[in-house]
Amino acid sequence: MPADNQTPFRDNGSSHDAPAQSARQQWNWHPDLPIGNNPLFEWPWHMPTIWAYHRDTWLKLSEVSFVLILAIATFYLMQPVMPVDGDSGSMTWVGVLYGVNLGLVCAVAGGLHWFLYIHKGQGIERKYISAFGHKGGGRFSFGNQVHDNIFWTLVSGVGFWTFYQAIMLWRLNSGAASAIEWGDSPVLFSLIIFLTGPWIAFHFYWGHRFLHMGVVYKWVHALHHRNVNVGPWSGISMHPVEHAIYFSSVFIHLFIPSHPIHICFHMYMLGLSAIIGHSGFHSLFIGNKDRFALGHFHHQLHHRYFECNYGSVDFPLDRWFGTFHDGSQESFSRLKNNLKI
Ligand SMILES: [Zn+2]
Ligand SMILES: [Zn+2]
């Protein structure tokens, strides 16, 4: 069924009647329900939960710590090719940056797709939906989900991503007044990294609500929602207008003290995190153990039910504005009732 005629809150990922089903019946696998949000925004504060959440995010190998390491590596990798003292005569560095981004996307999306969907290295263990992708490709460019997703990711996605990143890096390299070094204030430097996720969630929520408005949905965002059963290549498979909006959260760095590592981290949190989060599997499961958290079940619910979970767990705007679907039957009934359908 083409996704460009949006019916709010439909169960598009199942051939069954979702309200009559338990979560166990709706999903091949799902995390413990109800899902929560960043415990930093849950009141009253429960310190052991807050500590565990941030320990697992920052002090262990996670999607966030992984992209932070990549951001630091990219900063040092780019140093030799960056123009000196704002000299903009050579644009070679932009080509290198584009190559780095292209390589990262191909390695992360391509690697996950190969392992999970071609090699089927863990079967359907920790997979939200047991089917591997969509049958038939009528709704997709080139008549094929993977080809469609790769095209929009590489042609438009990596282009906008690199364009925005290059503008911000060039500005800092040209001696922007708001540039900051680690030595200036390690606390502020770290705080900016720490708050990047919640800011992206805040920006994503409002941009995403806009994208779900009538004609904007039909002409722009429906392209991303062709994917109900998502895979790694679906993460930033978007219309160019959506890319322009989605990646624009990085412009917050025009107004706050920033370093190139902040810019690279921000872009990887937008690009690579979306790819990992759309992988369709909750984690890499090797040797009977969860090795690395992958899918964002919060967003998987959005791809199935549409009119819910516009943001992410990093900042609880969905809870505050009544659009939070925590995966439970109660949540489903409440949202369905609010939408009066
Ligand atoms: Zn999505
Ligand atoms: Zn959406």
Q: How far is the CA of 203 from the centre of ligand 1 (A)?
A: 15
| pLDDT tier at 4, thresholds 50, 70, 90 | very low
| pLDDT tier at 341, thresholds 50, 70, 90 | very low
- Model pLDDT, residue 137: 81
Number of C-beta neighbours around residue 174 at 10 A: 13
- Express each pLDDT in 288-323 by its tens digit: 888 999 999 999 999 999 899 999 999 999 999 999
* Rounded distance between C-alpha atoms, residue 105 and residue 47, angstroms: 36
- Model pLDDT, residue 340: 55
- Model pLDDT, residue 17: 42
| pLDDT tier at 249, thresholds 50, 70, 90 | very high
Q: How far is the CA of 161 from the centre of ligand 2 (A)?
A: 19
Number of the ligand closest to the Cα of 274:
1
Q: How far is the CA of 224 from the centre of ligand 1 (A)?
A: 6
* 62-74: average pLDDT: 98
What percentage of the chain exceeds 70 in pLDDT?
A: 91
- Dihedral angle sign, alpha carbons of residues 327, 333, 334, 335: positive
Q: How far is the CA of 303 from the centre of ligand 1 (A)?
A: 6
Q: How far is the CA of 87 from the centre of ligand 1 (A)?
A: 39
Q: Which two tokens stand for residue 298?
A: 């919060």
Q: How far is the CA of 306 from the centre of ligand 1 (A)?
A: 10
Q: How far is the CA of 34 from the centre of ligand 2 (A)?
A: 21
Amino acid occupying residue 268 = Y
- Express each pLDDT in 220-234 by its tens digit: 999 999 999 999 999
- Model pLDDT, residue 82: 87
Quick check: 21 pLDDT over 50?
A: yes
Q: Which of 48, 50, 93, 102 shows the shortest CA–CA distance to 75?
A: 93
| pLDDT tier at 85, thresholds 50, 70, 90 | low
- Express each pLDDT in 258-292 by its tens digit: 999 999 999 999 999 999 999 999 999 988 888 99
Number of the ligand closest to the Cα of 212:
2
CA distances, 42 to each of 33, 53, 64, 315 (Å): 16, 12, 21, 10
* 68-81: average pLDDT: 95
Q: How far is the CA of 307 from the centre of ligand 1 (A)?
A: 13
Q: How far is the CA of 217 from the centre of ligand 2 (A)?
A: 8
* Rounded distance between C-alpha atoms, residue 142 and residue 1, angstroms: 16
* Domain assignments of the chain as residue spans, ordered by start: 20-81+92-133+151-338
CA torsion 234→145→153→281, rounded to 10°?
30
Number of the ligand closest to the Cα of 213:
2
- Rg over alpha carbons for the chain, rounded to the nearest Å, is 20
- Express each pLDDT in 146-190 by its tens digit: 999 999 999 999 999 999 999 999 999 888 888 999 999 999 999
Q: How far is the CA of 212 from the centre of ligand 2 (A)?
A: 6
Q: How far is the CA of 89 from the centre of ligand 2 (A)?
A: 41
The residue to which tokens 């995403």 are assigned? 208
Quick check: 101 pLDDT over 50?
A: yes
Query: Which residues share a beta bridge with 315?
Result: 312
- Model pLDDT, residue 89: 61
Q: How far is the CA of 307 from the centre of ligand 2 (A)?
A: 8
- Model pLDDT, residue 90: 78
The residue to which tokens 């705080």 are assigned? 191
Number of the ligand closest to the Cα of 205:
2
Q: How far is the CA of 210 from the centre of ligand 2 (A)?
A: 9
* Rounded distance between C-alpha atoms, residue 154 and residue 156, angstroms: 6
HEC assignment per residue over the chain? CCCCCCCCCCCCCCCCCHHHCCHHHHCCCCCCCCCCCCHHHCCCCCHHHHHHHHHHHHHCCCHHHHHHHHHHHHHHHHHHHCCHHHCCCCCHHHHHHHHHHHHHHHHHHHHHHHHHHHCCCCCCCCECCCCCCCCCCCCCHHHCHHHHHHHHHHHHHHHHHHHHHHHHHHHHHCCCCCECCCCCCHHHHHHHHHHHHHHHHHHHHHHHHHHCCHHHHHHHHHHHHCCCCCCHHHCCCCCHHHHHHHHHHHHHHHCCCECHHHHHHHHHHHHHHHHHHCCCECEEEECCEEEEECCCHHHHHHHHHCCCCCCECCECHHHHCCCCCCCCHHHHHHHHHHCCC
Q: How far is the CA of 251 from the centre of ligand 1 (A)?
A: 22
Q: Which region among 80-94, 114-128, 276-290, 293-307 has the lowest average model confidence (pLDDT)?
A: 80-94
* 9-16: average pLDDT: 40
Number of the ligand closest to the Cα of 306:
2
Q: Which two tokens stand for residue 86?
A: 């704002």
Quick check: 74 pLDDT over 90?
A: yes
- Cβ neighbours for 105, distance < 8 A, ≥ 6 positions apart: 153, 154, 157, 158, 236, 271, 272, 275
Please provide the distance, in angstroms rounded to a whole number, between the alpha carbons at the two ends of the chain.
Answer: 20
Q: How far is the CA of 82 from the centre of ligand 1 (A)?
A: 34
Q: How far is the CA of 207 from the centre of ligand 2 (A)?
A: 10
Q: How far is the CA of 25 from the centre of ligand 1 (A)?
A: 22
Q: Which two tokens stand for residue 133?
A: 């992708």
Number of the ligand closest to the Cα of 296:
1
Q: How far is the CA of 279 from the centre of ligand 1 (A)?
A: 10
Average pLDDT, the chain: 90
Q: Which two tokens stand for residue 129?
A: 């939906």
What percentage of the chain exceeds 90 in pLDDT?
A: 78
* Rounded distance between C-alpha atoms, residue 215 and residue 222, angstroms: 10
Q: How far is the CA of 228 from the centre of ligand 1 (A)?
A: 9
